[in-house]
Chain A
Amino acid sequence: MLELQNVSFMVGEGGDGREIVRDISLSIPDGRTVVVTGPNGGGKSTLARLVAGIERPTSGRIILDGEDITDLSITDRARRGIGFAFQQPVRFKGLRVMDLLDIASGRDLSTTEACEYLVAVGLCAKDYLEREVNASLSGGELKRIEIATVFAKASKVSIFDEPEAGIDLWSFQNLIEAFRKMRSAVKDSTVIIISHQERILAIADEIVVLREGKVASHGPREDILPSLMGTAIVAPGCPKFIGSAVGAAAAAAAQKEAANA
């Protein structure tokens, strides 16, 4: 279980200080897919970075399976089972895709094993394993490789910060399938996804809505999602997208909204 207890995060100091996350308390039980959504600037990415340890809270505690990890380094949190996929993936001159997957999994993967992680994110694996994770890769390719590294790490709690950016429709279906597989690969693992995408919201067990640094609502998808549909928070799926009634409903709502505008 991941718990946030009265977590706040402020940037700047004194009178210039601005609170990005305000006194958030949240419990995320094991074995859940939780989607954190909300308007831009609501504190979603900051919350994810606080859990991963990239940012440290100004106040409050973060507890993983009963252990207070608030003061632990990024490394120690990673080793205790937290995985994090960056919203803006990092480029490395010289490090290859295979290197990152090896580091992520903590061992030398076979080509077949490494390929499985890349196939899961819609990349033709053999074309990529030896490639450097540098500027020669497109934003979409980098994004997929970033997600693959978190799959390879197989964490107890995996956090994905807007994983859908740069992922096309075909891969999107695979991506959702990959989230499911990942959950089943690690017993009782939890996946936390920061997203506006209705297709991702549609696979959530729970939805957390963050607004102005606070939890505006949190509950089972069935309770939260209807109130979000058709609002600016949720990016509707393509109207031709088959396989998601929610997608069609969202698209219809968006069209209706456009017609009324």
Chain B
Amino acid sequence: MLSDVQKAMLKELTGVSDFSKGAFNIRANGASAGRQSTDNIRIEPKSGGAGLDIYIAPGVRDDHVRIPVVMTESGLKEEVFNDFHVGEGAIVTIVAGCGIHNCGCDDSQHDGIHRFFIARGAQVKYVEKHIGQGDGTGRRLLNPVTEVHQAEDSLLEMEMSQLRGVDETERTTTATLLAGARLMVRERLLTGGHERAISRYAVSLDGAGATADIVSRGVARDDSLQSLDLKISGNAPCRGHTECDSIIMDRGHIIAVPTLEAANVDAQLVHEAAIGRIAGDQLNKLMTLGLTPAEAEARIIAGFLR
């Protein structure tokens, strides 16, 4: 039975409260709290370990699967392995994410290891949110590892967001793309207090016509720290773009390390990185429209992290 806090976090993670339509698995405090497969999407627990195999049938059109995780028990630590097998030509949205509500004094930690095996021509949208809540002294820790294997002409759009509440996170994302495959990443990070967020990407463009576009936007306020390490390797005629754009506030600390590596003369790789405070003119402009400085700042940050 899910608690109200868990239900509220599930709604925030997935955008829905009714899971009856479509495939899903809800993991709450280290155990399955509900699972449903459909004709097109089969969810099977891994034998001998925590995690799931999720099979998405070839040719599926506009289907979706939700696999949120909620933790409300203080002191719980878990490592979960989920593999997504996306069939040829399938078009699917996968909604994942983890919410930790820690009111206790012990650390709560969820490390999700997600592997994607995306077959030729499949189109996947992957949405992952991290939420941290609770006023306990125990920390909320999330260390997601994402491993992506994209076959020819496949598409993966990843939207990742973590807006306050997670004390420490270390995200590692690796991807290999074959010919004609496309990867788009939109990451949003807002840290405050003494939170630390580290995000590393290593994307390998191994086939002709492969493209990657990785955009990370972050706001670090108070005494928080963000470290972003975006690497693209071009091993074929390909195009890669990384953008790391950050707003620094208060006593925040931001490290941006873009890396480009080309091993093919027709690899076109670009990176952009910028760190700066909110421009005075931006605040002034919104104040001339009647907002207070605090309202103006909030609107600027909300827009930046949209």
Contact = CB atoms under 8 A, between A and B. Distances in A.
A131 interface: no
Nearest to A88: B281
B241 to A, nearest CB: 15
A89 B285 CA distance: 8
A74 B288 contact: yes
B291 A75 contact: yes
Contacts of B287: 73-75, 78
Interface in B277-302: 279, 281-282, 284-293, 299-300, 302
Contact of B303 (A82, A93, A153): A93
A46 to B, nearest CB: 14
A85 B100 CA distance: 46
B281 A93 contact: no
Contacts of B304: 92-94
Contacts of A75: 287, 290-293
Interface string A91-104: 01111100110011
A258 B290 CA distance: 47
B303 A83 contact: no
B160 interface: no
Contacts of A54: 284, 288
Nearest to B288: A84
Nearest to A93: B304
B305 interface: yes
A153 B279 CA distance: 22
A78 B289 CA distance: 6
A28 B282 CA distance: 29
B289 A90 contact: no
B88 interface: no
Interface in B140-175: none
A153 B285 contact: no
B284 A95 contact: no
Contacts of B282: 90, 92
A149 B290 CA distance: 12
Contact of B290 (A79, A88, A89, A95): A79
Nearest to A96: B303
A106 interface: yes
Given A54-B284, A74-B284, A149 B303 contact: no
A118 interface: no
A83 B288 CA distance: 6
Contacts of A93: 217, 245, 303-304
A73 B290 CA distance: 10
B303 A52 contact: no
A82 B245 CA distance: 34
Interface of B: 217, 245, 279, 281-282, 284-293, 299-300, 302-306
Interface of A: 52, 54, 73-75, 78-79, 82-84, 86, 88-90, 92-96, 99-100, 103-104, 106, 132, 149, 153
30 contacts: A54-B284, A54-B288, A73-B287, A74-B284, A74-B287, A74-B288, A75-B287, A75-B290, A75-B291, A75-B293, A78-B287, A82-B288, A83-B288, A86-B288, A88-B281, A89-B285, A90-B279, A90-B284, A92-B282, A92-B303, A93-B304, A94-B303, A94-B304, A95-B300, A96-B303, A99-B299, A100-B289, A103-B299, A104-B290, A132-B303
Given A79-B290, A89-B285, A90-B284, 10 more contacts: A74-B284, A82-B288, A90-B279, A90-B281, A92-B300, A94-B217, A104-B290, A149-B289, A153-B289, A153-B290
Which 10 pairs, one residue from A and one from B, show the smallest C-beta to C-beta distance? A94-B303, A95-B303, A74-B287, A94-B304, A78-B290, A90-B285, A84-B288, A90-B281, A104-B289, A75-B287
